[in-house]
Amino acid sequence: MLQRIRLEPSRFALHFAVFVIVALWTLPTAGLLVSSLRDKNQISASGWWTALSTSEQKGQGRTKGKADQVEKDGKFVIEGNIFEGGAPTTVSAWGTNVNKPGANAPGATADLGDGQSMTVNADGSYVWSNTKAFEDDRGRRVFYVSSVPPRFTTENYGNVMFSEGIGRSFMNSLTVTIPATIIPILIAAFAAYALAWMKLPGRGFIIAVIVGLLVVPLQMSLIPLLKIYNATGFLSKTYLGIWLAHTGFGLPFAIYLLRSYIAGLPKDLIESAQVDGANDFKIFRRIILPLSFPALASFAIFQFLWVWNDLLVAMVFLGTEPDKMVLTYKLNSLLGSRGGNWDILTASAFITIIVPLIVFFSLQRYFVRGLLAGSVKGG
């Protein structure tokens, strides 16, 4: 009983730590989702956590010009609404100076000097009067602080999904990602079996080299590999070239992961198959591959996510021509040079994770088993 009581605090601490980690990962994603469904003006004006409350935004409008003035009671008056041509909101404060947009309360009359006065109401309607005739054709700018109710919309997703070339870029990304995931798995599976169960000269040295390649930054190999591609003449700016590039970058991790898993399979099972006369290829095809599916699925998830979200390698080895532009580059181009279009950025983020989510949840039951490859070796 005492031992159970002692374990309770540690269990509570573990659950609390897991809750904190999950919250740290989930809250930013939830914020991104909420932002992607908000009006683009509200995204830039306030944070996602204020999505359900009324927000304040600064804006400006312009009054009508002298052509719309009428004479009333010995004064020249121009009437209208500063929201004409735009979405109506509620004015919480207004002014005629850009540095003081909230100088006056709605409904208050401000003295503009030289015989002029102006009144702006909460609904945006205004009355601008003057003791003499107006001479300005364009009218006068009015700055205001408006109270905007929460507004959710799917326009952000529509702007991204129906932009020109987005469908072609989506297919280009699939064309790059699927072969670049399958090819290294096929090569690494053969290599992992050979390094785990076949007697090869220098096998330890080969394994050490593979482990060393895991820490080599791929950026170091981009320029040398690109020079080789350009020298060949048929790999540059082609799908075959980028498939081979991603295969080369993914093979060290693939071989290391699969070899660790395959080496942990029961030795008696392999020896029994050899006694029955099965050769290495039959053992690999009928025994190793079915038993290694968790490790294969784990690497497939990692490789698919890496290639699908890649931008650098695609730009270097495939180019940026419209007919070969991948989805990540297309979405990046929609943001412009400043990258301040938060409505496009947030919607694009969720569009890009649709396919990876499908792949992950399809293979997630094998994910943990694959990650534990080789950690516990059977006797």
Instruction: For 169-195, write each residue's pLDDT tens digit.
Output: 889 999 999 999 999 999 999 999 999
Distance from C-alpha of 332 to C-alpha of 49, rounded to nearest angstrom: 26
Q: What pLDDT shows up at residue 347?
A: 85
Q: What is the CATH number of domain 159-371?
A: 1.10.3720.10
- Alpha-helical runs (H) found in the chain: 2-36, 40-45, 155-161, 166-197, 203-213, 219-232, 239-263, 267-275, 280-283, 289-291, 293-308, 312-317, 327-334, 342-352, 354-363, 367-371
pLDDT in tens, 244-268: 999 999 999 999 989 988 888 888 8
> 268-280: buried (b, 16+ CB within 10 Å) or exposed (e) per residue?
eebeebeeeebeb
Distance from C-alpha of 338 to C-alpha of 350, rounded to nearest angstrom: 20
pLDDT < 70: residue spans in the chain: 1-10, 85-88, 336-340, 366-379
Query: 75 — phi, psi (to 5°)?
Result: -125, 155
> 27-51: buried (b, 16+ CB within 10 Å) or exposed (e) per residue?
eeeeebebbbbbbbbbbebbebeeb
CA distances from 81 to 91, 142, 327 (A): 11, 11, 43
Q: What pLDDT shows up at residue 9?
A: 61
> 312-326: buried (b, 16+ CB within 10 Å) or exposed (e) per residue?
ebbebbbbeeeebbb
Q: What pLDDT shows up at residue 85?
A: 63
Please check whether residue 253 is in contact with residue 214, taking contact to mean a CB–CB distance below 8 angstroms: yes
Note every long-range contact of 182-185, with CB atoms under 8 Å and residues 24 or more positions apart, other chains counting: 183/243, 183/247, 184/246, 184/247, 184/250, 184/251, 184/254, 184/299, 184/303, 185/254, 185/296, 185/299, 185/300, 185/303
Q: What pLDDT shows up at residue 90?
A: 81
Distance from C-alpha of 212 to C-alpha of 218, rounded to nearest angstrom: 13
| Short-list 309, 357, 301, CA closest to 332 | 309
The neighbour count for residue 182, using CB atoms within 10 Å, is 15
